[in-house]
Amino acid sequence: MSTSQKKILSAAAVGAAAVAAARTVADRTSNAADEDVTRWRVVTVNRPLDDVVAGTPAPLADLGDAVEVRVHAAPGDKGSELWARWRDGADLPDDQDPAQVLRRALRGSKQLLEVGWVLEPGRHTTTEDTVLNAPLRKAISTARGAGLL
């Protein structure tokens, strides 16, 4: 086998593996605990308790009475814990995964409390949609609401 053939085969193997890895991540954008929609989810906010209890940040407040919120002091010097859950029987968003909606709201609230605004992703004006990057695009599209939170 020539060197160039080896390179092509190697690139193909790596490419196939890349697609598989991205698909794995895309498939893991939710976890088993997401099936329990009403379970508590929590972020730790590096702000004193008084700052966090002063008002529910907009991303959580926008979810209205459907979401129950509680706040505790975090142990040590870690700030405050901001907890939220969908209330039993609440009207859940029917066009989005409720777990992802709540994760996005918690992460956004944390950034508002710590920084004052939410970091915008870069505008990907140069990227191209291809068949190979479809799994990655799916993972990116849900990445703010995905994860273990």
Partner 1 sequence: MKALLWTGINETSVEEVPDPQVQNPEDMIVRVRRTVTCGSDLHLLGGYIPFMQKGDVLGHEFMGEVVEVGPDVRRHQVGDRVVVCSFISCGRCWYCKNELFSLCDNGNTNPGITEALWGANPGGCFGYSHAMGGFAGSHAEYVRVPYADVGAFRVPDGVSDERALFASDSASTGWMGADLGNVRPGDVVAVWGAGAVGQMAARAAMLLGAERVILIDRFDYRLRSAEQHVGCETLNYERVEVVEELRERSGGRGPDVCIEAVGMEAHSPSAVHAYDQVKQQLRMQTDRPTAVRQAIYNCRKGGTVFVLGVFAGLVDKFPLGAVMNKGLTLRSAQMHGQRYIPMLLERMERGELVTEHLATHTMPLTDGPRGYTMFKEKQDENIRSVFLPGG
Smallest distance from partner 1 to CB 113, Å: 9
Which long-range CB contacts under 8 A does 128-137 form with residues at least 24 apart? 132/15, 132/18, 132/19, 133/22, 135/19, 135/22, 135/23, 135/25, 135/26, 136/22, 136/25, 136/26
Contact 149, 106 (CB under 8 A): yes
Smallest distance from partner 1 to CB 50, Å: 17
Give the footprint of partner 1 on residues 1-30 (CB under 8 A).
Answer: 7, 10-11, 13-15, 17-22, 24-25, 28-29
Give the footprint of partner 1 on residues 26-55 (CB under 8 A).
Answer: 28-29, 44, 46
Smallest distance from partner 1 to CB 28, Å: 4
Give the footprint of partner 1 on residues 85-124 (CB under 8 A).
Answer: 103, 107, 110-111, 114-117, 119-124
Give the residue carrying structure tokens 């992460």. Answer: 107
